[in-house]
Structure 1
Amino acid sequence: MKNLIKQYLDSRISRRQLLSGLGTLGVTAAAANSMAQSLAPFLPAAAADASADASSASRSIKGTGGALLVAQLKASGIEHIFFNPSSGAAPFFDALVDESGMHLIKALQEGALVAMADGYAKASGKTPFVICARPGFPNSMTQLYNVWKDEIPMVVAVDYVNRATLGEDGFEDADHLESIAHPITKWNWVAQSAEKIPEVTRRAFKFASTMPSGPVFLAYPEDILDDEAQAAVIDQAKFAVSMKVRPDPDLVEKAARMLLEAQSPLLYVGDEVARCGAQKDVVELAELLGVPVTRDGGTIGWSKSFPTQHPLYLGAALREMRYPAHVDVTLNLGSRLSYGERIQPGIKLIQVRMDPTNLARTAPTDVAIFGDLKFTTADLVAALRSMATADRLRQISQDRTAKTHEYTATMRKFRESLGRETWNHSPVSFERLGMELESALDKDACVIAESDSGRKMEDFMSFGGSDKQYFTTTGAALGWGLPAAFGVKLAHPDLQVVSVVGDGAFLFAGPQPLWSYARYKAPVTLIVCNNRSYNNERNRIWNVGGRQFQTGRDMTCYLGDPDIDYAKLASGFGVEGEIVAEPAQLKPALERAKRATADGRPYLLDVHIERNGIGAASTWHPPYSVADLRTRKV
């Protein structure tokens, strides 16, 4: 109790925290209030003012820079701190010892650390805080690149060299460390004094979360984290900027008229649809006009923003769309639309984005609308209903919908046929894996995917709408999926979470995230698609017909010899797992994984899966032995 009272008198904890702490010690509420009142005369004036007005959005705090940082993070709504330890940030971690409202989430490698926070941000919609040691920060760059590509809000911080020795090339000293982060962050800054820590931290969260959102970088010199100062800690809500912007009504009317007059329109959907919560509105718009729906192909899109089993959904766009054959108007809702060649000359293009920097960035655009996707889609629907009678809209929708239904039904039958054909393939086919997962997963499950070859699996699963959630990264820097699934589970502890990663992606993550799964008892099913190859990378290399293709020699992509046992690897980190070598073993293995996660434990499946494409059968790799170089046996 003495320590608790000392913290209160030193303004290191608030009146509310004092009362909570006294309650934990068994002091009654009445007695705790009386004790707090008796201590009021001994409080510093600023702290007394803050205590007297507990509901105020701003209060003055006295303490170390580390304590000020903790106080501001709490005011910014941070519940989890994603970290790897740093001696320079010791005052910050010291301030957390008596802070019960925040939870430390440790990763053993900085890239995995950022990917964990990325998964959490995508699933929760919140802006996470990440902190690591300055020499370890460059380790985070590949995953920070993914965050930047996906425009995910995140604050990434490091301890910085003591200002008195900065530039002397001393221990862990690097000139202009913040410049490393510059190309892939929205903003970067080095705090200049302890009293400025709350202010620059608030600004970092404001910049990260304001659309177009993205990561920011902050550095806190270790001396200012230890300095004593007094500063205002202010609720982050006082700096929030609403981005729910209504679109220009004239542009909405122009776009609606173009859609109404179109003979063969096409609708692209992107991540901003999910981010703005506009999925239902987009379905309503598509059904109103019977417009077929697609999304950018390749790695463009980290979510599924339209129900994938909807009869109007065509799947990912191809460079040459077979259906519809003659598009005259394309409406892009929240997609990067990065392949300009898909918008052929003569096709009218309407684009709606929340990111003005990428609006009309590549493809010539007839109508460019800046606005919230939910508002804009609802306004388009209202404009269309005002321009045409219900009978006319019904007739337009019925004619188009019938044709699209016929096409998507044909494609669905083709996929079902392919699924039957590959059902008993050994090693397991991606088609079989997709069908087994579709049967095994809860309807509201979260699937985190990082398998280039595994996109075929997704064709046999349903996502979007009231169905399963889907998460990936558009950056394609491998090593994301395994740690990101941890962050998704942290955001949604009551939802079933499954990670599906290729063996190449797993190895880029390293096994380190498994430790975090075991330490924090994160019940996630971890599936490694083990085909001992960078399968799609080999396909792309061989597809151009070079010497590797001509000779049948895979110089770069075979991952066998030695064959890695991922279940045994997981066991070394305290995660139970098993090998699935045959297709008949898959269903019971998924059931065991489901029981394990229901019991609160992570579970890994090392699924031996088929290679496919050009050169899939090749296991040749360049022979070389360092041992053979020896002239003596040492």
Structure 2
Amino acid sequence: MYTTSTAFLEALQEAGVSYIFANLGSDHPSIIESLAIAKQENKKLPTLITCPHEFVALSAAHGYAQATGEPQAVIVHVECGTQNMGGAIHNAAKSRVPVLIFAGSSPYTQENELIGGRNEFIHWIQDVFDQRGIMRGYTKYDNEIRTGANVKQLVHRALQISKSDPMGPVYLMGPREAMEEKTEPVTIRKELWEPISPAALPPQNMKELTNDLLTSKKPLIVTSYLGRNAKAVNELIRLSESLAIPVIESIPHQMNFPSSHPMNCGSYWNVDKQVDLLSDADFILVLDSDVPWVPMKNKPSDNATIYYMDVDPLKEEMPLWYIPSKHFFKVDSYTALQQINDYIEEKCVINQDMVSTRWKHYSNYHNRQKKERRNLEKALNNQITPEYLTACVRELVDENTIVLNEGITNYGVISNHIEVDIPESYYGSGAGSLGWNGGAAIGMKLAHPDKTVINLTGDGSYLFSIPSTVHWMAKRYNTPFLTVIYNNQGWKAPKHSTLGVHPYGIANQNQDFHVSFDPPAKLAEIASAAGDAHSMIVKKQSDLKNALIEGLRQVKEGRSAVIDVYIPHVYSDKNEIPTEKELIK
């Protein structure tokens, strides 16, 4: 039979979806049957990836979309499966990742009136009043499939919305009766359902913007995720080089600007001190950044002229957010930078003496930063510091490598010391629910099977990723990757947060933060048991490089590897507690 489910799966195929990351349940008989019929008839449909946990399913779709820009599909089981995606839907929403999520819903008939009616105990238990409401705070669009007559239109509309800036997840649900319904095939012209075109800068603002930029003495560019479009990176380089503008990154979760470029002046995470380039700047261009700085700790001068350009410059889904700026522009960064560069080249006179002076100054700044990083990377007393560990990982990275960063309290160390130069070679989740790293590594490996994926994660983030599911999937679907755990045997972030508010409190006096994982688990062996991954524990600096080299060799031969590296304990950093003098300052 040709059913609503058949049409639904066809629509995904027509829209260019390659994979369905699925955790199937009692609401999916029609989809399972349609997939079986398609296989028997040798009919092309998206490949179904079985995911034993919904969080990993959505994280894998998230990673695939980050690596390609193309949304994939996730299928979950009614409201229980919807809720089991948990923080992964937060991540997809906050990272503005396109993905289509489909969930069944409990049947709405119970006396055999229609095919697919209730015939199991669970169909009453899983019936809720507002299943779509579970997702509504995180999705751009939600709807219910009620008939096969227009299911293709709903799928294409949902994906059109998902792929239009600001991109994000969309949610469809369908009860068994609707999905089992016989229907007639519908022909869809895909070209009529394309996402909205990229937004450009208003021409009337170009003169004012470029005049402010060209007359500034200390301009600065701040970005976090401009590199989601690789072409925007080249335009950013073009602007930076033409005017000698330094670039700094705030919590970068893309490769936005080459680390080796003389105008790259580093990145920062939750820094506890003022960044001098930010406070000195008289003109700041913010490009694609949700949190360009944390005002309580680190902010620009009150006299700085700020321009804000972003696909979502007002952060409309953030209840508390404001950064006073001279202008906010809702634009595509690649398009806007191209406009600015062309306008400057064609219509503006550049003070080359000032540019030359700036270039020398910020090149020296860049070189000093690099020297400071190298000093921090030196091995001390056979102890493995996060800086040393990242430097050792950096030796494994080549032009064919993708690096994932979910190091959390070591996020800034990784982003500064990994030193990537190639667009689309570095990613963070862009959000706040931990555990993205494992599923994302699978998604990125599916997207780029020829690339080497290196996943850098804290021990807490590793546990949140549901490694048993991740590594079972990695083995089954031949997506090997290298995981390096920055294992400080606990959650350091809550300790940092407590010290930030109560630096001289009782928790600090007693070193009682409730964040240690002692006694430590054998984290790498989880991956070994679930997915036959190569596993190693490294506690000595002298063993580290050989362990990493062996792990990478295993991955290149088709087997995942997890290297569990012990760095200083979560309770070992006495020097992170500020003195009273430092606190007053």
Q: TM-score, normalised by structure 1?
A: 0.82
Which residue number in structure 2 is paired with residue 530 of structure 1? 487
- One-letter code of the match for 1:378? Q
Which residue number in structure 1 is paired with residue 172 of structure 2? 218
How far apart in 2 are the matches of 1:551 and 1:375?
53
Pair 1:571–1:340, CA change in 2 (3 A): closer
How far apart in 1 are the matches of 2:471 and 2:181?
37
5+ residue gaps, structure 2, are: 111-116, 577-585
How far apart in 1 are the matches of 2:524 and 2:146?
48
Which residue number in structure 2 is paired with residue 105 of structure 1? 49
Which residue number in structure 2 is paired with residue 243 of structure 1? 197
- Look up the SS of the partner of 1:182 in the other structure: coil
Could you tell me how far 1:503 is from its partner in structure 2?
0.7
Query: Is contact 1:273–1:305 with CA below 8 Å preserved after alignment?
Result: yes
- Look up the SS of the partner of 2:192 in the other structure: helix
Which residue number in structure 1 is paired with residue 90 of structure 2? 145
How far apart in 1 are the matches of 2:313 and 2:279?
30
Alignment of 1:1-400 (within 5 A): 63-97=2-36, 98=39, 99-134=43-78, 135-164=80-109, 170-275=124-229, 277-297=231-251, 301-317=252-268, 320-323=274-277, 325-337=279-291, 339=293, 341=295, 342-355=299-312, 357-358=314-315, 362-389=322-349, 392-400=350-358
How far apart in 1 are the matches of 2:128 and 2:435?
26
- Look up the SS of the partner of 1:403 in the other structure: helix
More displaced 10-residue stretch of structure 1: 521-530 or 356-365: 356-365
- Look up the SS of the partner of 1:170 in the other structure: helix
Identity between Structure 1 and Structure 2 (%): 21
- One-letter code of the match for 2:365? Y
Q: TM-score, normalised by structure 2?
A: 0.88
Which residue number in structure 1 is paired with residue 443 of structure 2? 487
Pair 1:362–1:343, CA change in 2 (3 A): farther
Which residue number in structure 2 is paired with residue 592 of structure 1? 550
**Is 1:460 aligned to residue 417 of structure 2?**
yes
Pair 1:549–1:401, CA change in 2 (3 A): farther
Could you tell me how far 1:118 is from its partner in structure 2?
0.5
How far apart in 1 are the matches of 2:135 and 2:563?
36
How far apart in 1 are the matches of 2:45 and 2:359?
52
Could you tell me how far 1:468 is from its partner in structure 2?
6.9
Per-residue deviation, residues 513-570 of structure 1 (Å, max 9, x unmatched): 1111111121201122222111232122134225444433324200112x21123222
How far apart in 2 are the matches of 1:508 and 1:616?
27
Could you tell me how far 1:119 is from its partner in structure 2?
0.5
Pair 1:595–1:326, CA change in 2 (3 A): closer
- One-letter code of the match for 2:254? S
Q: Which has the larger radius of gyration?
A: 1
Pair 1:418–1:613, CA change in 2 (3 A): farther
Could you tell me how far 1:178 is from its partner in structure 2?
0.6
How far apart in 2 are the matches of 1:100 and 1:442?
35
- One-letter code of the match for 2:345? R
Could you tell me how far 1:241 is from its partner in structure 2?
2.9
How far apart in 1 are the matches of 2:456 and 2:227?
24
How far apart in 1 are the matches of 2:557 and 2:191?
38
Pair 1:548–1:85, CA change in 2 (3 A): farther
Query: Is contact 1:252–1:376 with CA below 8 Å preserved after alignment?
Result: no
Per-residue deviation, residues 281-315 of structure 1 (Å, max 9, x unmatched): 10110111111111224xxx421211122221122
Could you tell me how far 1:172 is from its partner in structure 2?
1.9
Could you tell me how far 1:356 is from its partner in structure 2?
5.1
Tell me the matched-pair count. 548
How far apart in 2 are the matches of 1:484 and 1:415?
28
How far apart in 2 are the matches of 1:84 and 1:469?
29
Aligned partner (choices 374, 377, 392) of residue 416 of structure 1: 374
- One-letter code of the match for 2:441? A
- One-letter code of the match for 1:74? Q
- One-letter code of the match for 1:589? A
How far apart in 2 are the matches of 1:458 and 1:334?
17
More displaced 10-residue stretch of structure 1: 517-526 or 568-577: 568-577
Pair 1:324–1:526, CA change in 2 (3 A): closer
Which residue number in structure 1 is paired with residue 581 of structure 2? none
- Look up the SS of the partner of 2:290 in the other structure: coil
Pair 1:257–1:340, CA change in 2 (3 A): farther
- One-letter code of the match for 2:175? P
Could you tell me how far 1:270 is from its partner in structure 2?
3.1
**Is 1:401 aligned to residue 346 of structure 2?**
no
How far apart in 2 are the matches of 1:256 and 1:189?
44
Per-residue deviation, residues 204-240 of structure 1 (Å, max 9, x unmatched): 1111111111111110111111111114141433210
- One-letter code of the match for 1:372? D
Which residue number in structure 1 is paired with residue 568 of structure 2? 610
5+ residue gaps, structure 1, are: 1-9, 11-62, 619-634
Query: Is contact 1:552–1:615 with CA below 8 Å preserved after alignment?
Result: no
How far apart in 2 are the matches of 1:602 and 1:339?
37
How far apart in 2 are the matches of 1:129 and 1:73?
8
- Look up the SS of the partner of 1:207 in the other structure: helix
How far apart in 1 are the matches of 2:539 and 2:286?
43
Could you tell me how far 1:431 is from its partner in structure 2?
1.1
Which residue number in structure 2 is paired with residue 446 of structure 1? 402
- Look up the SS of the partner of 1:497 in the other structure: strand
Pair 1:364–1:203, CA change in 2 (3 A): same
Could you tell me how far 1:110 is from its partner in structure 2?
0.9
How far apart in 1 are the matches of 2:73 and 2:424?
27
Alignment of 1:558-577 (within 5 A): 558-561=516-519, 563-573=520-530, 574-577=532-535
Query: Is contact 1:533–1:611 with CA below 8 Å preserved after alignment?
Result: yes
Could you tell me how far 1:450 is from its partner in structure 2?
0.7
Query: Is contact 2:438–2:462 with CA below 8 Å preserved after alignment?
Result: yes
Query: Is contact 2:20–2:48 with CA below 8 Å preserved after alignment?
Result: yes
Aligned partner (choices 437, 456, 459) of residue 503 of structure 1: 459
How far apart in 2 are the matches of 1:117 and 1:201?
17
- Look up the SS of the partner of 1:600 in the other structure: coil
Per-residue deviation, residues 160-206 of structure 1 (Å, max 9, x unmatched): 11122599981421221111101111111111112232121111111
